[in-house]
Amino acid sequence: MIHATDSKVAFAKMNGLGNKILVVDMRGRADCVTPEAAIVLAADSATAFDQIMAVHDPKIDGTDAFIDILNCDGTKAQACGNGTRCVVQALAAETGKKVFTFQTVAGILNALEHEDGTISVDMGKPVFDWDRIPLAEEFHDTRRIELQIGPIDDPVLHSPSAMSMGNPHAVFWVDRDVMSYDLARFGPLLENHPIFPERANITLAQVTSRSAMTTRTWERGAGLTLACGSAACAAAVSAARTGRTGRKVDVHVASANPPGILTIEWRESDDHVVMTGPAEWEWSGTLDPSTGSWQRDAKTADDGAAAL
């Protein structure tokens, strides 16, 4: 672990399939990473991120840590699957443990680092009730809700599946390459549509077989992202729920860098969604959780260590 000063804490710059993550060690402290600090860090090209995973001391027995999640606009997020894998890799490198239980505002997450370095995260049960997603109006069947972009008689996107993975998602089904759609233009409109009182993650999904699909996501509070784990889970579950695939699929994240696959299984035994994929350490340093000022740690800049 990097030894931080009283005002600064250790952090690691990491990614999950390119989903930019800062894992910040807040253990032993009573304060939090402020929204102001998050915005400062996001604005710096060196520390730009999609989510901050702030690791705090556990609040309840039987858990390893409480994770506070912030988006790059300073708002709070309920869930981040790719970020959770990064936390597991960092803590596993530090402690030697392979199995973890985390508390988040969305609930309890169990995670496991495998021998091959991939990490599985139990994302819990999906939620389909319109008022719990939540949606602003009642839909008896959220496998298909009334929402479209473009002309009424020839919409560009329409009839998404809606659900929650601890955070709200809308999945639009498309027949051509997900990269051919102008998601940078449609994403903000859909994220902030009145039908989503808490905004929503917007995903384009192209099913390529009964066990594979390709996705691209506009992430709530983060914008276009290279990867979004909870969105991959939402797309996989929605595909199975609408009869497009089985309950286990490989999700090719179209914009991921480096390219990669998330394997998503919606277990029949308990309805839990399990996501398996990689995490990657980039470099480490220290930061002030109040102001966002930071410094790269030269000792670990190039040694490939994943620990905080």
Which one is catalytic: 72, 86, 228, 233? Answer: 228
Residue 26 is encoded by which pair of tokens? Answer: 């807040």
Which one is catalytic: 72, 80, 86, 233? Answer: 80
- Sign of the alpha-carbon torsion through 16, 42, 169, 32: positive
Closest CA to 258 of 230, 231, 227: 227
Residue 298 is encoded by which pair of tokens? Answer: 């030269």
Ordered DSSP codes for the chain: -----SS-EEEEEEEETTEEEEEEE-TT-S----HHHHHHHHHSTTT--SEEEEEE--SSTT-SEEEEEEETTS-EES--HHHHHHHHHHHHHHH---EEEEEETTEEEEEEE-TTS-EEEE----B--TTTTT-SS--S-TTS-S-EES-TTS-SEE--EEEESSSEEEEEE-SS-GGGS-HHHHHHHHHT-TT-TT--EEEEEEEEETTEEEEEEEETTTEEES--HHHHHHHHHHHHHTTSS-SEEEEEETT-SS--EEEEEE-TTT--EEEEE--EEEEEEEE-TTT--EEE-GGGSSS-----
Nearest-angstrom CA–CA distance, 142 and 306: 40
Note if 228 is an active site residue: yes
Instruction: List active site positions.
Output: 80, 228
